[in-house]
Amino acid sequence: MTKIYCAKYLVPGNAPPIIGGALLAVNGKIVSIGRFADLRRAHPEVQVVEFPDCVLLPLLVNAHTHLELTDFPLWAQQFGETTEPDNFVDWILRLVRVKRKLGKKAYSCSVANGIRQSLAAGTGAVGDILSQYSSRKVYQGTMLHGVLYLESLGHDPEIISRFRNELRSLLAEERVGLMQLGISPHSPYTISADYLKDVYEKCFRQNLPCSTHLAESPEEIEFVVHGGGDLAKRFYPSVGWKYLIPKGSGCRPAEYLHRHAGLFPKNLLVHGVQLSGREIELLAKQQMSLVLCPRSNAKLKVGKAPVAQLLQAGINLSLGTDSMASNDSLSVWDEIAFAHNWFGGECDAPTLLKMATSGGADALGLAAQLGSLEVGKLAEFQVLQPETAVAENEIFDYLVAPGRTEEIVQVFHQGETSV
């Protein structure tokens, strides 16, 4: 199918906004982009879909989320877990208590709900962490692209052996729907050193996508460096790991990953709130990508990522909503608006939009398909209709302001509307 889509403003994502812009899509791919007048003149016979007074731009990328926890607020209420945690470890303990009371069907329903919410919010790709592997089948037939990271953790050799066998079988599938399968060794504080290194070497050797939570909280720093703190005193006993607490490594999380073969470009790191200057230099040297989750970090009171230093170091940054266990929505638009305020002058509007589009696409290995509107990429875009007129010099300020989710009027996947 061949169509020209035009709007008052077209924001390619990799070039300046085009006033009176348009794109020509043929069979789900972009074959031309530019001013509507020029495209119309070159293709007078092609059907035109007009969006006057609207902004047309790429679909967003939610580079880190846990869609299996989309229904967490309902579960917490159902099980009487309505008190907001005071700190990071309290939050983990509540999460564990709630998850222990759930059946597998609940997770599949939650993933399906998360996919629906993501698509409606103008998201085209996700980096989704999945602990309940059977729920992966929900992605069959959906329009979301991305990576489905199968979560793995633990210290007990018998449990680790079961993880290895199950992952070996599942990874042979390679894809579920439009999602590539990968592995997520959860974090330095939830997985044995030997198993962590084993997972990283497997991913590097087989060129598998990988993702790791890193330097999220002060509690993690205390545990990784010294082997102590609330994670050792409260979390480990609560999950039956009381006698499996490792000794402190004497080094910070990024260096810990480096020692265990974990700093390679296909290992997508998440959070980075507590990274030091030396760690940032190390990540830049190893060409790592990092997903920032500012709303989750704020809600869990773990601190604020050093975004200015990360940008200065040249690290590829993207945005993620994390889960509904630590956030209020799955909309990356909402994440952008919060981040604009949260980071203040450290991160300007064009940079935030890049993080939510091409930065996320790069992080998930999708740069050839998504992240910007350009010739050869998929015709995956959304249309926003502002409530009030937006001047040419106000486009980026408009895009990072609150309320964009509610202004989405159309979402297109490979040239076909879905909303």
* Nearest in space to 232 (alpha carbons), one of 213, 214, 246: 246
Average pLDDT over residues 197-203: 96
Residue 371 above 70 pLDDT? yes
Q: Tell whether pTM > 0.95.
A: yes
Cα(127)–Cα(179) distance, rounded to whole angstroms? Answer: 9
Q: Is the pLDDT of residue 299 over 80?
A: yes
188 in Cβ contact with 245 (< 8 Å): no
419 has pLDDT over 60: no
Query: Is residue 1 over pLDDT 90?
Result: no
Structure tokens at 43: 């293709």
Residue 157 pLDDT grade (very low, low, confident, very high; cuts 50, 70, 90): confident
Cα–Cα distance for residue pair 127/289, rounded to 1 Å: 13
pLDDT mean over 52-79: 98
Return the H-helix or E-strand segment holding 61.
strand 60-65
Separation CA 177–CA 344 (nearest Å): 38
**Residue 119 has what pLDDT?**
97
Average pLDDT over residues 195-202: 96
Can you read off the two tokens belonging to residue 65?
């989320």
Q: Mean of the per-residue pLDDT values for the chain?
A: 96
Let me know if 272 is exposed, middle or buried by CB neighbors in 10 A (0-12, 13-18, 19+).
Answer: buried
State the amino acid at position 202 in one-letter form. Answer: K
Structure tokens at 407: 């202004």
Taking CB atoms within 8 Å and a gap of at least 24, the contacts of 309-313 are 309/277, 309/280, 310/272, 310/275, 310/280, 311/346, 311/347, 311/351, 313/280, 313/281, 313/283, 313/284
Report, as an integer, the average pLDDT of 264-278. 98
Q: What CA–CA distance (Å, rounded) separates 390 from 387? A: 9
pLDDT band at 417; cut points 50, 70, 90: confident
All structural domains of the chain = 2-58+372-417 (2.30.40.10), 60-363 (3.20.20.140)
Euclidean distance between CA atoms 93 and 239, whole angstroms: 9
* pLDDT value for 162: 87
Q: Which of 89, 120, 14 is nearest to 413 (CA)?
A: 120
> Among 150, 218, 222, 235, which residue's Cα sits nearest to residue 186?
150
- Rounded CA-CA distance 415/49 in Å is 11
Is 89's pLDDT higher than 70?
A: yes
pLDDT digits (tens, 9 = 90+) for 301-353: 999 999 999 999 999 999 999 999 999 999 999 999 999 999 998 999 999 99
In this predicted structure, the answer to whether residue 418 has a pLDDT above a threshold of 90 is no
Which residues does 249 contact at the CB level (< 8 Å), separation at least 6? Answer: 224, 225, 227, 256, 259
Is residue 268 within 8 A of residue 248, CB to CB? The reply is no
CA–CA distance, 70 with 75 (Å, rounded to integer): 10
Residue from 198, 326, 191 nearest 271 by CA: 326
**Beta strands at 47-58 and 381-384: parallel, antiparallel or unpaired:** antiparallel
Q: Rounded CA gap, 199 and 195, in Å?
A: 6
Of 35, 125, 47, nearest in space to 378 by CA: 125
pLDDT tens-place string over residues 96-110: 999 999 998 999 999
Residue 190: half-sphere exposure toward Cβ, Cα within 13 Å: 18
If pLDDT is split at 50, 70 and 90, which confidence band does 12 have? Answer: very high
DSSP code for 378: B
Count of all residues that appear for the chain in the document: 419
The confidence band for 292, taking pLDDT boundaries of 50, 70 and 90, is very high
Which of 269, 185, 189, 278 lies closest to 229, judged by CA?
189
Cβ(184)–Cβ(129) below 8 Å: yes
Helices (H), 103-251: 104-120, 157-171, 193-206, 218-226, 230, 236-238
Q: Which helix (H) or strand (E) holds 292?
A: strand 289-292
What pLDDT score was predicted for residue 159?
Answer: 85
Residue type at 211? S
